Amino acid sequence: MGMATRFKTPNGEEMVVLSQVDYEELVEAAEMLEDIAAYDRFQERLARGEEEFIPAEFVNRMIDGESPIRVWRDVRGLSAKELAASAGISATYLSEIESRKKEGSISALKKIAKALKVDIDDLVAWGDHDAESGSAG
């Protein structure tokens, strides 16, 4: 790192002038520290069981527009019948929600999320992505 020039403004404020290269290096270092801190926080949540890894194939299915409920059901290794029973809803209703024939009530989505051990946002945020991108799903 090069030299920094320090000076005081007429109103007494202390200032430092850096070269563009030095400034960019400082910004890059600060961003790296933020990334490391975010990684450490994730690792702590993972160790506490508050986060989990899911295989890319499942993420890609959601990105491609498949129902997040169906994908999470597959991640958990549940049949539609098992998930419906665990959530206390009918298998027919679950099928209609998964196929997007029905939106599903907030109450039903909360029950499904609980049965899948995910946040409700994990089930509905993907639908928002589809709407914004204009893809049918």
> Model-level pTM greater than 0.85?
no
Listed range (12-26, 39-53, 64-78, 101-115) with the worst mean pLDDT: 39-53
The CA–CA distances, whole Å, from 47 to 39, 42, 51, 97, 130 equal: 12, 9, 8, 33, 32
Mean pLDDT of 12-27: 94
Position 134 confidence tier, pLDDT thresholds 50, 70, 90: very low
Q: What is the pLDDT of residue 135?
A: 39
Listed range (14-28, 42-56, 107-121, 122-136) with the worst mean pLDDT: 122-136
CB 80 within 8 A of CB 91: yes
The CA–CA distances, whole Å, from 72 to 4, 8, 32, 35, 130 equal: 54, 59, 33, 28, 17
Q: What is the pLDDT of residue 133?
A: 39
Instruction: Take residue 103 and report the two structure tokens written for it.
Output: 């939106």
Rounded Cα distance, 128 and 11, in Å? 51
pLDDT digits (tens, 9 = 90+) for 24-67: 999 999 999 999 999 999 999 989 988 888 899 999 999 999 99
Q: Where are the domains of the chain?
A: 5-47, 56-133
Q: What is the pLDDT of residue 129?
A: 43
**Average predicted confidence (pLDDT) for the chain:** 89
Yes or no: domain 56-133 corresponds to CATH 1.10.260.40: yes
